[in-house]
Amino acid sequence: MNNYETVFIATPVLSDQQAQEVYGKFQGVITENGGQIVNKEDWGLKKLAYPIQKKTTGFYYFIEFTGEGDIVEKLETQLRRDERVIRFLTFKQDKYAVEYSEKRRRKLGGKVEAQATETVKEEE
């Protein structure tokens, strides 16, 4: 099993529900083809570095997963076919990238837990 990361940008003309549908679709492609999702992040609507298809913003999504080599080909085929995706990048992680990702998840996990605790305290 290899470790992979993929980031894709969905067109900004989608509603929040449609954007989440796109995100879910590609998570499904990974799991249907024998992959296992390790981490997923919705980075939200961000400004692009340069216009793509006359659009200056896009919904960014990040998925970290494990799987066999052919899973990337199947995922990228689906990404290319979906007109709602304007850019994507998938790469295989080496052992150092895997270690970094684990550290990053632990660090972000602590921040998420801290934010959740603060929110609960504010509500009380």
**Range 2-93 has CATH code 3.30.70.60:** yes
Mean pLDDT across 24-53: 92
Least confident of 26-40, 45-59, 74-88, 92-106: 92-106
For residue 93, the surrounding DSSP H or E stretch is: none
User: Who wins on pLDDT, 77 or 121?
Assistant: 77
> Closest by alpha carbon to 11, among 88, 67, 101?
88
pTM exceeds cut of 0.85? no
